[in-house]
Amino acid sequence: MNDELKDIVYSDLFRYTGNNRRFKRIYTTYLQERATSPEFSYISVFRRTQYYYRQIPKYDGFLKYFTIAKFRVNSFRLDRLSRKYGFQIPYDTQIGKGFYLAHFGRVIIHPKAVLGHNVNVSTGVVIGTQFRGKRKGAPDIGNYVWIGANAVIVGKIRVGNNVLIAPGAYVNFDVPDGSIVIGNPGLIRKSPGATLGYINNTILFDEYNVRSGAGN
């Protein structure tokens, strides 16, 4: 892996193990986690597939064909893992660093959705689009967001930073920073410590040289 790909994959690994790039056996830890964690295995292949997909337009000639080949190999692996574990996250979905899938099982994320840094997604979650009306589009989800099992988030809405979406909640409205959403239909409760104790091993923006906002 080159440095750009390592940076984002190891940020995800840190969420699972607490070991950052300064850990001497980080690559061994990476291989062990890929072998034992279905969730991290899927994420690492997702990152590789997305990386090579984005690199294709940058090259010509042999390097272009070589990059396309690597993309196709990883895309095949991603599709196989999707069928095996139930994750449906297209490789062009914009997801920030420190992504955490809590359990393997059905998870559906629309490719137009945007997820920030340090986002936890539990099994049964649907992050989808709305096809008509003023909320036509897909969600934009901020940093430090915990999404509980079987929660549904739909439409062109903004979910702020430090937000907890409770299991089974239905969210089709904007959610401000520092909030908890519960129930169906969802109700907002202000809580400055909404995700305290729920999101562990979070990446530090200065440590990983990233800015607020996904994909930076």
Cα separation values, 199 from 10, 12, 47, 185, 203, Å: 17, 13, 21, 25, 10
Residue 189 has pLDDT above 60, yes or no: yes
Q: Residue 205: what pLDDT?
A: 55
Residue 211 has pLDDT above 80, yes or no: no
Q: Residue 23: what pLDDT?
A: 59
3-state SS, residue 12:
helix
Residue 93 has pLDDT above 90, yes or no: yes
- The pLDDT mean for the chain works out to 90
Averaged pLDDT for residues 46-55: 97
> How many Å apart are CA 167 and CA 152, to the nearest integer?
9
Closest CA to 102 of 149, 150, 58: 149
Triad 127, 94, 138: Cα angle to 5°: 35
> How many Å apart are CA 57 and CA 105, to the nearest integer?
33
Q: Residue 20: what pLDDT?
A: 67
Q: Residue 120: what pLDDT?
A: 97
- Global confidence as pTM: 0.88
> 128 and 152 in contact (C-beta within 8 Å)?
yes
Q: Residue 22: what pLDDT?
A: 61
Query: Among residues of the chain, what percentage have pLDDT more than 70?
Result: 92
Which tokens sit at 105? 């099982």
Residue 216 has pLDDT above 80, yes or no: no
> How many Å apart are CA 87 and CA 117, to the nearest integer?
19
Contacts of 180 (CB under 8 A, 6+ apart): 163, 164, 166, 188, 189, 191, 194
Q: Domain segments of the chain: what residues?
A: 1-85, 87-199
Q: Residue 21: what pLDDT?
A: 61
* Domain at 87-199: CATH architecture: 3 Solenoid (2.160)
Q: Is 191 exposed, middle or buried (0-12, 13-18, 19+ CB in 10 A)?
A: middle
Closest CA to 121 of 12, 11, 8, 209: 12
Position 34 confidence tier, pLDDT thresholds 50, 70, 90: confident
Q: Residue 31: what pLDDT?
A: 85
